[in-house]
Chains A and B, each alone.
Chain A
Amino acid sequence: MNWLAELRQVEAWVQREVQAEERLTAALSNHRDELASAAAAAIQAGSEALAELARGREGRLSELRQLFERIGRAVGVRGSTLSLGSLVERAGPEGERLARLRGELLRAHQAGRKALLDALAIGRAQGQVLRAVLVELLGVDPLTEPERAAGRFVEVRA
């Protein structure tokens, strides 16, 4: 096996990603609360925190894809066809650690996925309710028709 060094790098990557996923899960959980709070500033701050985490994941995925390319060349396949599961199978006994780490990452991802869905559901619901209220009050959707909505506040008050 001439790609053992790359395998160890993938294991290290998965270990970092498990921690990153847990941070993302926590951030999503907080953001879900922020979305429920109807506090615009907090929502904005939470969104920016998520964006930072997303940018970190983009970098890490790029790094993983490079590792997969190198391993693919070593085993004679295209890197894009590889996954953590296929590496575990190809590595045999050497892949046991990666298999365990992959399991951790899978669980972390599931937790993160739940948090993400919660946040999405709440955010979507809140946004729709507010949008409906605004359309009702202003007679125009300020998001889709900002030009028509301009000055509507004054008219509504009058």
Chain B
Amino acid sequence: MSFQGISTGLKALIAAQSSLDTIGNNLANINTPGYSRQRVELVQALGIERNGVRIGTGVDALTITRAIDNLLESRILTQLGVRAQLAERYAAAQEIEFALGEFDGTGVGQSMDSFFAAAKQLAGDPADGILRSNLVQGGIQLGQRFNQVYGQLEAVGGSVEDALRTSVAEANALAEQIAELNRQIRTLEPGGDPANQLRDQRQVAVQALANLAQVEVREDPDGTYRVYVEGNLVVAADRAMRLTTSDQPEGGLALRLEGSAYDLTPRSGKIAALLALQDQDITDLTGGLDQLAKGLIHAVNSAHSTGIPSGGGFTSLVASNALVDLDGNGQLEDQLLADSGLPFDLTAGELTINVVDEESGEQWSQQIAIDPATTTVGEFLSALGAVPGIGASLNAENQLSIVAEAGLRFDFSNRLDPDPDGAGTLSGGKAKLGSALAGPYNLSAGGSLDFAVPAGGPTNLSVAFPIGSFPDAGEVSAQQLADFLNADAGFSGAGLEAHAVGGYLQLASAGAGSSQSFSLTGGGAAAALGLSGKVGQTAVGSDDPVEISISGAFTGAVGKELVFKVAGAGTVGTTPGLGLQVFDSAGALVATLDIGAGYQPGTPLAVIDGIEVAVSLGELSAADDGRFAVEARADSDSADVLVAFGLNGFFVGSDAQTIAVRPDLAADPDLIAASWTGTSGGNQALLALGEIETQELALLDGRTLGSSYGELIGGLGFDLATMELSLDTADQVLGSLQQRRDSVSGVNADEELVDLTRFQQAYATAAQYLSVVTRLQDELLSIL
């Protein structure tokens, strides 16, 4: 073989060797992540001219190139980020779902159900000690479940922070690796050899980075990559910029480039998912859980705080929520109630405080008007202290402390006055007369009322009503008139007193008994005051008076004043037709109770909304227009004072982290305030507590506890389902892209082997033709 022939053969062998090596390398790397299929680029060597004939000089293996589609690689980077973000959020959502425990029966929802079921069960038998313990245990379990779920969510949040720090460190390591590979590629490639292996390694690193954050890549002419994370240059040539995490003032971590003053907000990748989990998902869940716990505490404590324990009212109470010196002046009394750091808002309204003398059974109630925007802590304390028998102060922990004097107990129930006719304007032994008209009265013409009051002999008395005695003589209320009359020395000196009952003016003797009597003898104001029918009538007291008592508990949704009046005349339980009419605040008749023949005196009769009245044996007559009134309050703490301060609550705390059963109540279930009346077997507070489950609560934006919690859980379920679907889609898209990449860059063993076989067949064919040519050449030689 000539030198040229040897050279040609050598080139051919080198080229063939390169091709075979490349095929072998492709096959060997068939499972290497990121490996791009390589191809030997063969070019025909320049031929030589000999005897006017161009003769080829073989083939050169020019270069080995990676089969790669840059656009496809870019789309894969994007999709990797999307997929990683979804996968991370999905995994965290599953963890949160597990923490909530709703699907294994240990969640807050189940605990709430159990708690309310225990409350309803106890309402059926409020004195049952086991049921009381059951309710307390249900409350403890519910509180602990809130605490645990909150703690677990916080733990997830903590692990998110850890994962965020780790991911950022990983991203920095990858950026360093890409920068180093850039340096090596830039060093190697100018020598003529494509650094395919390094480029593959760099692509793997870039893809790993794309799993963490949104990445864009641009290749510079020297073969180095510029890598942008969320639009920020992170790798340039052989330099890598570092990502850092910084603590946010409101908690959690923020991401930024080292030295930058601005936070990065990743759009995809694991870091984006972690930041979203930290800033949105977990925050929303803990916030929702807090709000739910707050709504529960508020509602349960509202029902419980106005109740009365089985042992009766309180001798002392200490609030569980402390006041905070928000203005920092060392004084709490000067602060408005609205700005005193209480965990629950107060509203403008009233607090009713009832005081009972344990020995005599005497009861008195007082309403304290509160406007949190104008009432100071000091004013509130003073108002409490002004209630007879009650003292109020702030203890060393800035908690409100209320103490009753010895022998007294207090409560905040909406209990009814058991003796509503204490003034004796309808029953009792006093002599009495009532107006036939309800106020306000028109006294613009002035006038007087004239009385004859026997005191060892008739004493004539006249009380004048000068126009200037009232702010508006044309609109004088019954109370104004009563106050005016009681202030008149002659009137009171004659042993008379005036009352305003349900808007009517009622006149009575100060004393009781048959010796008491008085007559209305006339006067210019009698007609205006609805007393003209009473002129000449003598009211006489009784030695055997009728007694009226009220029992039950008001269950109406709106408070009202009920006015009672006799219908007919006669003996209770004997005279047919004798009745008791009941009017509402608007004067409408709401009930007529038969207390005549057939009525067993002293038997409670249902009026309306849980109120009962009993009338003892005795004489009653409608002729004197006697009346008494019962004030029924729907909410004895319309200002939410008790909940805000944490007085007589069932729960303490104000959110999911702090909710717990009141410690003294947890230790002594008898402190459960079941009743609004203080009577044995009273269950009104428990009934109200049981109803909370289905009530729409203002603190939960008008939703029930169940629906609010359902929304929280349902939202998570929806998110999980959506994320699962999105993750499937992302997987499919990524799979499709990677399949396309494999078709371009991946090694296919079949393809490589088919190539080999095809070559083999081509060589076999060529050999056949060459043998023909050989034969012909031999034949030609034979004739030469």
Contact = CB atoms under 8 A, between A and B. Distances in A.
A35 B763 CA distance: 7
A156 interface: yes
Contacts of A31: 766, 770
Nearest to A36: B12
Given A25-B55, A118-B9, A57 B780 contact: yes
Interface string B748-784: 0110011111111111111111101110110111111
A129 B16 contact: yes
Contacts of A111: 51
A26 B54 CA distance: 7
B766 A47 contact: yes
A130 B759 contact: yes
A21 B783 CA distance: 14
B8 A47 contact: no
B91 to A, nearest CB: 33
Interface in A14-35: 17, 21-22, 24-26, 28-35
A83 interface: yes
B16 A126 contact: yes
B16 A46 contact: no
A141 B780 CA distance: 36
Contact of A120 (B753, B754, B770): B770
Contacts of A30: 56
A154 interface: yes
A44 B781 CA distance: 27
A91 interface: no
A118 B784 contact: no
Given A32-B8, A125-B13, A127-B760, A44 B780 contact: no
B761 A40 contact: yes
Most central of A46, A68, A118, A131 by chain B CB within 10 Å? A118
A83 B761 contact: no
Contacts of A85: 784
B37 to A, nearest CB: 14
B463 to A, nearest CB: 117
Contact of A83 (B11, B754, B757, B782): B782
B769 A51 contact: yes
Contacts of B20: 38, 129-130, 133
Interface string B58-79: 1100000000000000000000
Contacts of B9: 36, 118, 121-122
Contacts of A48: 769
A63 B55 CA distance: 29
B779 A61 contact: yes
A142 B757 contact: yes
A119 interface: yes
Contacts of A38: 15-16, 19-20, 40, 42, 759
A43 B256 CA distance: 59
A43 B765 contact: yes
A61 B773 CA distance: 13
Given A40-B758, A134-B753, A119 B770 contact: yes
A138 B763 CA distance: 19
B767 to A, nearest CB: 6
A61 B11 CA distance: 35
Given A28-B773, A38-B42, A157-B750, A130 B783 contact: no
A54 interface: yes
A37 B59 contact: yes
Interface string B26-55: 010010000000001010110100010111
Nearest to A86: B783
A21 B53 CA distance: 11
A90 B412 CA distance: 150
Of A68, A133, A134, most buried by chain B (CB within 10 Å of CB) is: A133
Nearest to B747: A157
A21 to B, nearest CB: 8
A116 B762 contact: no
A51 B772 contact: yes
A40 B2 contact: no
B449 to A, nearest CB: 117
Contacts of B772: 50-51, 54
A14 to B, nearest CB: 9
A47 B770 CA distance: 8
A44 B768 CA distance: 11
A125 B15 CA distance: 13
A109 B777 contact: yes
Given A36-B58, A36-B59, A106-B784, A47 B762 contact: yes
Interface string B1-21: 110010011011101100110
A156 B749 contact: yes
B82 to A, nearest CB: 31
A148 interface: no
Contacts of B754: 153
A84 B763 contact: no
Given A35-B12, A119-B770, A131 B760 contact: yes
Contact of A143 (B5, B764, B779): B764
A95 interface: no
B776 A54 contact: yes
Contacts of B54: 26
B750 A116 contact: no
Given A57-B780, A117-B1, A26 B53 contact: yes
Interface of B: 1-2, 5, 8-9, 11-13, 15-16, 19-20, 27, 30, 40, 42, 44-45, 47, 51, 53-59, 749-750, 753-770, 772-774, 776-777, 779-784
16 contacts: A25-B53, A31-B770, A33-B58, A36-B9, A37-B42, A38-B20, A38-B759, A83-B783, A111-B51, A113-B777, A116-B773, A119-B766, A122-B13, A123-B766, A127-B767, A157-B750
Interface of A: 17, 21-22, 24-26, 28-41, 43-44, 46-48, 50-51, 53-54, 57-58, 61, 64, 68, 83-85, 102, 105-106, 109, 111-127, 129-131, 133-134, 137-138, 142-143, 153-154, 156-157
List the 10 shortest-distance A-B pairs measured between CB atoms, nearest first. A36-B12, A127-B763, A43-B762, A157-B749, A38-B19, A40-B762, A40-B758, A153-B750, A130-B760, A47-B769
